[in-house]
Amino acid sequence: GESVGLHLPTLSVQEGDNSIINCAYSNSASDYFIWYKQESGKGPQFIIDIRSNMDKRQGQRVTVLLNKTVKHLSLQIAATQPGDSAVYFCAENKHQAGTALIFGKGTTLSVSS
């Protein structure tokens, strides 16, 4: 079936570096994309989202980029901190009532100080 996947299972960075986590999606019908952070033993925590009519969206220290031509999504974290260490998932769906999110495989971000 169609799914959302991440390119790298792990990413290790130094504190203060910028991190880039990538995701490829395959469902052309998806029009809503979300990045989640999941810490061990907890549920997913919303980071940032983007709709398909946008290429870029910025939050606090985070930026999501969407390239619909190559079906690619990325999450950029500026000045990465040890507290950013977690597993990051991208998710997609058709943004309408009753539609579930489809999650990618996840990237484990490790930040060393």
Partner 1 sequence: GAVVSQHPSWVICKSGTSVKIECRSLDFQATTMFWYRQFPKQSLMLMATSNEGSKATYEQGVEKDKFLINHASLTLSTLTVTSAHPEDSSFYICSASPGAGGSYEQYFGPGTRLTVT
Nearer to partner 1, 32 or 76 (CB): 32
What is the SS3 assignment for 108? strand
Q: Least separation, in Å, of the C-beta of 79 and partner 1?
A: 26
- Minimal distance, residue 95 CB to partner 1, in Å: 5
- The answer to whether 6 and 21 are in contact (CB under 8 A) is yes
Q: Which residues bind partner 1 (CB under 8 A)?
A: 32, 36, 41-46, 89, 95-106
17 or 31: CB nearest partner 1 = 31
- Alpha-carbon distance of 72 to 30, in angstroms, equals 12
Q: Give the Cα separation of 43 and 68 in Å (integer).
A: 28
